[in-house]
Amino acid sequence: MRIDILSSLPHLLNEPFTTSILAKAIKKKIVEIHIHDLRDYAKNNKKQIDDYSYGGGGGMVLMIEPIANCINKLQQEREYQSVIFMTPDGKKLTQSTCNELSQQRNIIILCGRYEGVDQRIRDIFVNKEISIGDYVLTGGELPALVLCDSIIRLLPGSMSNSSCALSDSFQDNLLAPPIYTRPSDFKGHKVPDILLSGDTTKISDWKEEQAYKKTEQKRPDLLDQ
């Protein structure tokens, strides 16, 4: 899979790709990450990428040309299944969207900043608008990283035990069951006996039952879906 991220502050995006599962996935060539500085696509000498909003209003707006130049160049080189704009007024990110995107070959993620991007970028190029929640951040870089992380961990080979991703919360609309590690007894707080029994069928039934119970208690809305 190839992910191209367009940003006005690209240095914010580097670090998370240098450690842990994301770095390993890049090293194993499971995913390619290409970060683009929108200033490199500005045509004027000042490398201007933002301007005042027509009709007034306080903030600046990311201009159409640098973003269009970058997306046009990328789309001439290969086909992209998704051109995603990270935005608080987009569709709220869910595990099923992550699953869907993890099946795609090439995606572009556009990070907004200031008041956002010129609406015409959204009208002309963007085919998915994604929010990471009902709150407003200063830019789309952290949301883009959230999206990348949630997709890359699903790619086959990213995690040493890929079945882990399938038993995570929200797969099958259930929350994950409780988990434990050593010691089996911490000051009288004991790990449930069943997990120490070695009976894999009973353990798997117990986990399923616990997942249902937890979902009923914490997120009953998921069971209705």
Nearer to ligand SAM, 146 or 203 (CB): 146
Q: Which residues here bind ligand SAM, judged by CB under 6 A?
A: 86-89, 111-113, 115-116, 131-133, 135-140, 143
Tell how far CA 168 is from the center of its chain.
15
Residue 18: Cβ within 10 Å count: 9
Residues 6 or more apart in contact with residue 184 via CB below 8 angstroms: 190, 191, 196
The least CB distance from residue 115 to ligand SAM, in Å, is: 5
Confirm whether 88 is a catalytic residue.
yes
Q: In whole angstroms, give the CA distance from residue 155 to residue 25.
A: 8
Answer whether 4's CB lies under 8 Å from 111's CB: no
Options 4, 66, 88, 141, the catalytic residue: 88
Nearer to ligand SAM, 66 or 88 (CB): 88
Nearer to ligand SAM, 89 or 205 (CB): 89
The least CB distance from residue 199 to ligand SAM, in Å, is: 45
Q: In whole angstroms, give the CA distance from residue 67 to residue 111.
A: 10
Nearer to ligand SAM, 115 or 168 (CB): 115
Confirm whether 153 is a catalytic residue.
yes
Confirm whether 199 is a catalytic residue.
no
Options 100, 115, 129, 149, the catalytic residue: 115
The least CB distance from residue 153 to ligand SAM, in Å, is: 19
Confirm whether 78 is a catalytic residue.
no
The least CB distance from residue 177 to ligand SAM, in Å, is: 29
Options 65, 100, 149, 168, the catalytic residue: 168
Dihedral of alpha carbons 127, 132, 133, 139, sign: negative
Residue 108: Cβ within 10 Å count: 25
Q: In whole angstroms, give the CA distance from residue 4 to residue 105.
A: 11
Instruction: List residues with catalytic annotation.
Output: 88, 115, 153, 168
